Amino acid sequence: MIVYPAIDLRGGKVVRLKEGDPNRQTIYSDNPVATARLWQAAGAAWLHVVNLDGALGALDAQVNTGIVREIAALDGVRVQFGGGLRDAAAVERAFDLGVDRVVVGTAAVTDPGFAAEMVGRWGADRVSVALDAREGVVVVKGWRQPSNWSPLKLGLDLAALGVRHILYTDVSRDGLGAGVNVEATARLARLTRLDVVASGGVASLDDVRALKETGLVAGVVVGRALYEGEIDLAAALKIAAG
């Protein structure tokens, strides 16, 4: 199981949003590249970087572009990147920055064929689809708009289209430290047979351990708990590798 330290970028800073709400923001660092180096030094093999300005449709959605390029250039760490990648051109620009995998959300939910197109062009290992759910419904456009999909139905359809990687977030838990939704994440992985990465609400090493013990979950994104010292990254990596 892979542990992905989260670096959520907004206005050039590392932040976290509670339940994806841009009005409930905490700033953790003014230097995202230094933050990336910190997690790299602790042993992270992957980083999960999100352009929140892009996800939220900010007018200056490219404010974080140079930062993403610098992080992607770091030796020995790979970057999974998402946030506002809603068409093929945006995905191509992301890969031009040097990232290793993109995460597409809104575009793939509204048109699963888009996900299939991106997998066909870039390969299944380089494309992940974000299934962000609130009360059993997939939400889009920065988690603000409900779709007509359940995570399971969309996951099964995406699997049939050749998608391999899924980022599953329980939005109601994100940034709150309420504990990760182990049961829903494991069920999604078991029924779709996709490589599912858990996100949202990871609060302690117990959450990492519980996901690992399912034997089904491919990875976990850890954000707020890392920044507030509730999870030691080295310890989380050890559990995930065990």
Q: Could you tell me the CATH superfamily of domain 2-241?
A: Aldolase class I (3.20.20.70)
Question: Could you tell me the two tokens for 145?
Answer: 């708009």
Active site residue 206: no
Active site residue 232: no
Cα–Cα distance, 163 to 121 (Å, whole number) = 12
Q: What are the residue ranges spanned by the domains of the chain?
A: 2-241
pLDDT number for residue 223: 92
pLDDT in tens, 5-54: 999 999 999 998 876 678 888 999 999 999 999 999 999 999 999 999 88
Max intra-chain CA distance, the chain:
44
- Is 131:138 a contact under the CB 8 Å cutoff? yes
pLDDT in tens, 142-191: 667 788 889 999 999 999 999 999 999 888 755 555 688 899 999 999 99
From the candidates 8, 170, 195, 207, give the one annotated as an active-site residue: 8
Cα–Cα distance, 115 to 104 (Å, whole number) = 8
pLDDT number for residue 214: 97
From the candidates 132, 170, 195, 207, give the one annotated as an active-site residue: 132
Give the residue among 131, 40, 104 at the shortest CA–CA distance from 77. 40
Residue position matching structure tokens 């809603």: 86
